[in-house]
Amino acid sequence: MNAVRRRVRAAKADVQAKRHKEGWILARQPMTFADNTTWSNRDSDVTPLDQRTWTAWTIVGYWFSDVLCAQSWSGASAIIAVGLTWREATYCLILGTLTLAAPLCLNGAAGAELHVPFPIVARSSFGFLFSRFAIVIRMVTALFWHGKSHLSPMQCQTPTMSCYH
């Protein structure tokens, strides 16, 4: 119970500190590669070797989890509803997935090779200030993608929940 009280007090102090401009200023983090005059932090440094835990099979599994989801099944059912057979729908989905895989792999190649996050790769392409535009575009795209990813299961859950009434 004391831990909960400490957390509540800390959260209350944090909220009170955020009422002033000084409360929003973050302390400088130690950096591994950059000097103190560079805009950097631990998240934008190269991933250390001991923290690189993903293998080729992990990445393949991640990609398959992204392909074999409710959106893929709804895409297949929409193609079948149009009038194509299940085999034609399967071919369409495989072709569409492979078509998307090429630019996605090219987009992630620099980060995978250099072990740096997207904002750092964007800085090298767009510069320090204009990279913010690329990051915001990627953020908005991710919001739409995750919104669609969460909408499909909720549409499946709605009829299930109505059965309990």
For the chain, the structural domain boundaries read 56-114
Contact 122, 135 (CB under 8 A): yes
Q: What is the mean pLDDT of residues 143-148?
A: 85
86-114 vs 70-82: helix crossing angle, rounded to 10: 150
Compute φ and ψ for 55, nearest 5 degrees.
-110, 180
pLDDT at 74: 80
Range name among 19-23, 35-39, 135-139 with the lowest pLDDT average: 35-39
| 25-40 mean pLDDT | 72
* CA distances (Å), origin 33, targets 61, 93, 112, 113: 32, 44, 19, 17
Q: Which residue has the higher pLDDT, 60 or 95?
A: 95
Confidence of residue 47 (pLDDT cuts 50, 70, 90): confident
- Residue 139: the pLDDT is 92
